[in-house]
Structure 1
């Protein structure tokens, strides 16, 4: 009986693998262990020919392409002083416009005092211009801080560039980076959204 139901499901869902098959069987009131579903699919010759892959996430890490700053925060993300500790990260997100997938890039600067986004820029591509536009606004908005400011990021290519490093040094801002290698490491900023 279960085999017949699986064949019927497969006619409706031509490329359902064993995980969707388990769920589709549940919808019809048949509760079966996923291992049994795998065995039956193999027996019935129900092979999956098209695979869904998660799309690769954006990774700004390109190795050492400029100046890599030391990690000055060392996970000390709390501060009682507004505009003292600022963090940033470039994040890719997806949306659909008239059925077409788009991938814009968000470049926010977040104040760790209250997790407020103090500036941001959204762009169609991960560009240095977008990052520095948001940086410039963050520099202006945090200039009222009576203490030395720290700007914290990952080791993405844009944060290592000479112009970026120079802008921070010219304002006597401490640059801090955490190590991320071959994976997209998310700063505290991303988790707080």
Structure 2
């Protein structure tokens, strides 16, 4: 599943004026273990970030023995011809949330909520790079260290590796 979320940060320009700016995160999550398989961070919502993240997640999941389904909301990025064509090219089924129903993508919304609660709310970031670095570190932590009850108290990566050994 995938979606886009926005973060605000503050930058001081050369005249000492503080300006509010935005950063956008476009992750792709595996619903099997909630692992973030691919993501892009950009200064504005754009097709390049979405398509680069899509290309990477297609490669990461290429060895999947089952039919792949990529889920999103009905945002402009996921309705692009290039996006849907790329999915068809790789025989990936496209699933989209019902209009105006955020519950259809609740795993990704939950990830965004955790991310913002754990590193963003109550913090002030003073540059794009500072916020980007915090998000990069968090995604590594989330995938490799953050235990989840539904994964038998393992991180997403630990759960995947354990399942591979059993299979």
User: Given the two structures, how large is their TM-score scaled by the length of structure 2?
Assistant: 0.59
Shift, 1:147, TM fit:
0.5
More helix, by proportion: 2
Q: What's the counterpart of residue 155 of structure 1?
A: 74
The alignment yields a C-alpha RMSD, in angstroms, of 1.6
Q: What's the counterpart of residue 58 of structure 2?
A: 139
* TM superposition outliers: structure 1 runs of 4+ over 6 Å: none
Shift, 1:97, TM fit:
2.9
Shift, 1:180, TM fit:
2.9
Secondary structure of the corresponding residue to residue 74 of structure 2: coil
Alignment deviations for residues 57-99 of structure 1 (CA, whole Å, 9 cap, x no partner)? xxxxxxxxxxxxxxxxxxxxxxxxxxxxxx0001111122344
Secondary structure of the corresponding residue to residue 107 of structure 1: strand
> Among residues 9, 15, 19, which one is paired with 1:95 in the alignment?
9
Secondary structure of the corresponding residue to residue 45 of structure 2: coil
Unmatched 5+ stretches in structure 2: 13-17, 115-167
Superposed, 1:107-122 pairs within 5 Å as 107-122=26-41
Q: What's the counterpart of residue 46 of structure 2?
A: 127
User: Given the two structures, how large is their TM-score scaled by the length of structure 1?
Assistant: 0.51
Superposed, 1:1-193 pairs within 5 Å as 87-98=1-12, 99-181=18-100, 185=102, 187=105, 188-192=107-111, 193=114
1-structure distance, mates of 2:70, 2:6 = 21
More strand, by proportion: 2
2-structure distance, mates of 1:104, 1:95 = 8
2-structure distance, mates of 1:133, 1:144 = 19
Structure with larger Rg: 1
